[in-house]
Amino acid sequence: MTDISTREWLLSDAPQTRAQARLGAIYQGWLTFRANKLAMLGLIILVLLVGMAIFAPWLAPRDPFAQNLAERLMPPSAAHWLGTDALGRDILSRLIYGSRITLFIVGTVALIAPVIGLLVGTVAGFAGGWVDQVLMRLTDIFLAFPKLILALAFVAALGPGIGNAVLALAITSWPPYARLARAETLTIRNADYIAAARLQGAEPMRLLIGHVWPLCISSMIVRVALDMAGIILSAAGLGFLGLGAQPPMPEWGAMISDGRTYILDFWWVAAMPGLAIFVVSLAFNLLGDGLRDVLDPKGGAQ
C-alpha cells in the first residue's frame, strides 16, 4: 500500500478487522499527540536522555570518576564545557553518566509502584465490603505522611544506597495509584459486560485481569507520566541528603549537594545538575500532558 492508502486504511470509519481498529486508534492517538508541540518537545528531550544514557561511554568527553585537583573548580570552557567540580571532575561527563542513574530510578519506581497500586485499588473496588475498608485505610495511612518524609524514614531504616532509595520511593508512591484504580473499578464493576462474564462462570481474578485492568491502564499511564517529575525530585532530594546513590556515583542530587558550598563563587558546580533535573522534570510533565490529551480527553479538557 502507498502512504496515502495506508493512512486511509488506518483512518477508516469502518475497520474490517480488530487489528485494523486497534492500529487505527493508535494512529489517531499519535496524530493527536503530534499536534501538541509541547508534548513533542518533552518526548524529544526524553528520547535524547535515553540515548545519552545508552551511549554514555561514547558521549562523555572524560572519565566521570577521574580526579584532577589541578583543574578543580574550572568555569565552563572549551576544555570542560560545563566546568569542573571541587575534585577536578568533568561535570558534563558526570551529568551524562548520571542520566543512567536517573533513568534507573524512574524506570524501577514506575514499574513497581503502579503495579502495587493497580492490584490494591482494583481488588478493593471490586471486592468491596471489609476488604475495601482494610485496603483503603492502609492506603490512607501512607497518604497521611508526605511522600518524601516517609521515604526518608524508610531509607534511614534500611540504610543509604541507591537500591534502598528506589525501594523507599516505590513503597511510598503506590497509594495515589491505588486510589485511582479503585475509582475506575467502582465505575465499571457493575457494568453489563462484567455481569455477563460473571454469568458465564468467569472467576473474580479473571474478571480483574481480563476486564477491569485493561480499562484502568490508560489512566494509570497518564498518572505515571505526570508523577515522573516528582519521583526525580524525590530521588534528587534523597541524593542531596546523602541517602541515595553514594559517592563517587554521579547522581544529580548528590552533585548539587557537593556544589552547595561553592554556590556563590563557583555557581556552575550546583547549577548544571540542577538545570538537568529541571529540564528532565519539565519534559516528563509535558509528555504527561500530551498523553492525558490522548488517553483521557475528558480529564484533559477540564
195-209, 234-248, 261-275: least confident range: 195-209
Distance CA 52, CA 56 (A): 5
DSSP annotation of 302: -
pLDDT tens digits, 44-67: 999 999 999 999 999 999 999 999
**pLDDT at position 215:** 84
**pLDDT at position 191:** 80
pLDDT tens digits, 24-37: 888 888 888 999 99
**pLDDT at position 248:** 87
Do 245 and 165 touch, CB atoms closer than 8 A? yes
Do 1 and 10 touch, CB atoms closer than 8 A? no
State yes or no: pLDDT of 138 exceeds 80: yes
State yes or no: pLDDT of 205 exceeds 90: no
Handedness of CA 258, 261, 266, 271 (dihedral sign): positive
Q: Which residue has the cell 576544555?
A: 79
CATH architecture for residues 45-301: Orthogonal Bundle (1.10)
User: In the predicted model, what is the mean pLDDT of the chain?
Assistant: 88
B/e letters for 54-72, b = 16+ CB within 10 Å, e = fewer, are eebeeebebebeeeeeebe
Distance CA 196, CA 30 (A): 33
124-138, 162-176, 187-201, 245-259: least confident range: 187-201
- Of the candidates 131, 176, 171, 136, the one whose C-alpha atom is nearest the C-alpha of residue 151 is 171
Residue range 152-171: mean pLDDT, rounded: 89
Please give the residue that has the higher pLDDT: either 104 or 25. Answer: 104
How many angstroms separate the Cα of 93 from the Cα of each of 63, 64, 101, 191, 290? 7, 5, 13, 55, 31
Residue range 106-116: mean pLDDT, rounded: 91
Can you give the pTM of this predicted structure?
0.87
Residue range 92-103: mean pLDDT, rounded: 94
State yes or no: pLDDT of 157 exceeds 50: yes
Residue range 208-235: mean pLDDT, rounded: 87
**pLDDT at position 298:** 54
- Provide the pLDDT confidence category of residue 297 given band limits of 50, 70 and 90: low
State yes or no: pLDDT of 155 exceeds 80: yes
**pLDDT at position 302:** 40
**pLDDT at position 296:** 66
**pLDDT at position 261:** 87
State yes or no: pLDDT of 118 exceeds 80: yes
User: Domain extents for the chain?
Assistant: 45-301
22-31, 51-60, 153-162, 289-298: least confident range: 289-298
**pLDDT at position 90:** 94
**pLDDT at position 292:** 86
CB atoms within 10 A of CB 163: 13
